């Protein structure tokens, strides 16, 4: 051991705070080095002087003052882990509640609507069963038939009689014959398809349309360098072939978007038919008046009214015809475009530029990710900020020594 090292360790040696090996090495050095022995003696004397420094004794009244300010009550041993465990338990309870609340809420909701669902299911079952029942005959009247249905089904069937059918004469209630049995719906579809070759896809679309009995009502095409690359077609196809035509068109390429709409015009058709019947009745009345009219002014007036009524009849007939034709032939708007060919990378761009752009793009993604994390943390702040605040508050209330 060298003297410099001895100088560093001599204080601990004098205090008896050295390890056994170091102490032995230092003692061996001291036995051989007179200078270090002098150092040891100086340090021992100095320590003695410092230890002999004056020590103040507590004033006599201190004990009484302290005893007067403390409470002699049993105190529970405060455990530090409670400071962590309590907020952690609170946080855990919050998380569990947050997870379980929708489940319980859902079960309550299900329990609430369960009777309604059961009633609905039984009604549907009864509705399925009713059409198979034989219609009332003269031997078995409608009242008896309804009573039988009432026994078989839990719900009151009085408001849900089976729809009258053709040939039903003994039932009483007969719907107006003009009401269409199937709804009239004008179907329209918009499809956008990416294709490899526009020309081939265009030809195929036209062939599909014609094969199902339809026709092309409109078409456009756009060219690039005298080669058509995109365009659109408006196809009219029979409504029965609407679905199959769309399915076949979808296989021409990659469908980018598909939008199918249906406009129910049943109500409008029924309304137009009723108005048409009224107008025809009105026309017949005017014709009878015309036959009886003797004076010229009367004849002129009736003629004027007749022409008005006939105009309205033609208008209604035209609208009816249009609606029926629209409902009979669905419209499909097909938009075809060729897939973009990959553009060659300009040779002038160096790898440094690409690397720089990649780095900038990566930085943007990282910033977005960090922003997302901050937003999540902010939104979930009640779950972590409150426990931390509680923990800090409790920690502050702890004694300084804890």
Site residues (CB under 8 A) for other proteins? 8, 11-12, 15, 17, 41-43, 45-59, 62-63, 65-67, 69-70, 72-79, 399-402
Backbone φ and ψ for 266, nearest 5 degrees, come out as -60, -45
Q: Of 61 and 344, which has the nearer Cβ to other proteins?
A: 61
CB of 398 to other proteins, least distance (A): 8
CB of 396 to other proteins, least distance (A): 13
Q: Of 41 and 258, which has the nearer Cβ to other proteins?
A: 41
Q: Of 73 and 143, which has the nearer Cβ to other proteins?
A: 73
CB of 86 to other proteins, least distance (A): 16
Q: What is the 3-state secondary structure (H, E, C) of 262-278?
A: EEECHHHHHHHHHHHHH
Give the whole-angstrom CA distance, residue 237 versus residue 246. 10
Q: Of 49 and 182, which has the nearer Cβ to other proteins?
A: 49
Q: Of 81 and 297, which has the nearer Cβ to other proteins?
A: 81
Contact 192, 256 (CB under 8 A): yes
Q: Is the dihedral of CA 243, 248, 249, 255 positive or negative?
A: positive
CB of 60 to other proteins, least distance (A): 10
Give the whole-angstrom CA distance, residue 137 versus residue 145. 9
Q: Burial-class residue 262 by CB neighbours within 10 Å (0-12, 13-18, 19+).
A: middle
- Cα 68–69–71 angle (5° rounding)? 95
Q: Of 65 and 112, which has the nearer Cβ to other proteins?
A: 65
CB of 397 to other proteins, least distance (A): 11
Q: Burial-class residue 142 by CB neighbours within 10 Å (0-12, 13-18, 19+).
A: middle
CB of 29 to other proteins, least distance (A): 17
**Strand intervals (E) in 173-280:** 185-195, 215-224, 227-238, 254-264
């Amino acid at each position: 051991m060298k003297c410099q090292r001895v100088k560093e360790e001599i204080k601990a040696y004098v205090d008896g705070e050295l390890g056994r090996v170091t102490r032995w090495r230092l003692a061996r050095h001291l036995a051989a080095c007179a200078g270090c022995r002098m150092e040891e003696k100086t340090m021992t004397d100095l320590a003695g002087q410092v230890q002999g420094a004056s020590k103040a004794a507590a004033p006599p009244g201190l004990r009484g003052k302290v005893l007067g300010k403390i409470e002699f009550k049993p105190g529970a041993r405060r455990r530090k882990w409670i400071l962590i465990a309590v907020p952690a338990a609170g946080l855990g309870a919050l998380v569990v509640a947050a997870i379980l609340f929708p489940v319980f809420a859902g079960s309550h909701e299900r329990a609430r609507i369960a009777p309604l669902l059961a009633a609905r299911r039984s009604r549907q079952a009864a509705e399925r069963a009713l059409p198979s029942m034989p219609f009332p005959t003269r031997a078995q009247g409608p009242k008896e038939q309804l009573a039988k249905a009432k026994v078989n089904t839990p719900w009151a069937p009085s408001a849900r009689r089976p729809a009258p059918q053709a040939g039903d004469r003994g039932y009483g209630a007969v719907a107006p014959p003009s009401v269409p049995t199937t709804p009239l719906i004008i179907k329209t579809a918009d499809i956008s398809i990416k294709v490899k070759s526009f020309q081939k896809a265009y030809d195929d679309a036209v062939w599909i349309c014609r094969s199902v009995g339809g026709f092309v009502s409109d078409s456009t095409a756009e060219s690039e360098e005298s080669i058509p690359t995109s365009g659109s077609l408006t196809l009219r196809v029979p409504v029965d072939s609407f679905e199959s035509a769309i399915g076949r068109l979808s296989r021409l390429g990659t469908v980018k978007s598909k939008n199918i709409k249906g406009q129910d015009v049943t109500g409008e058709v029924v309304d137009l038919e009723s108005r048409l019947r009224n107008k025809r009745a009105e026309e017949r009345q005017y014709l009878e008046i015309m036959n009886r009219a003797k004076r010229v002014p009367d004849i002129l007036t009736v003629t004027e009214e007749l022409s008005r009524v006939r105009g309205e009849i033609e208008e209604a007939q035209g609208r009816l015809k249009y609606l029926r034709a629209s409902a009979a032939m669905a419209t499909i708007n097909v938009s075809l475009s060729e897939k973009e060919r990959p553009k060659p990378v300009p040779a002038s761009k160096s790898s440094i530029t690409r690397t720089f752009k990649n780095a900038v793009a990566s930085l943007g993604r990282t910033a977005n990710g960090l922003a997302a994390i901050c937003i999540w943390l902010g939104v979930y702040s009640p779950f972590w900020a409150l426990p931390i605040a509680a923990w800090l508050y409790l920690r502050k209330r702890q004694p300084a020594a804890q």
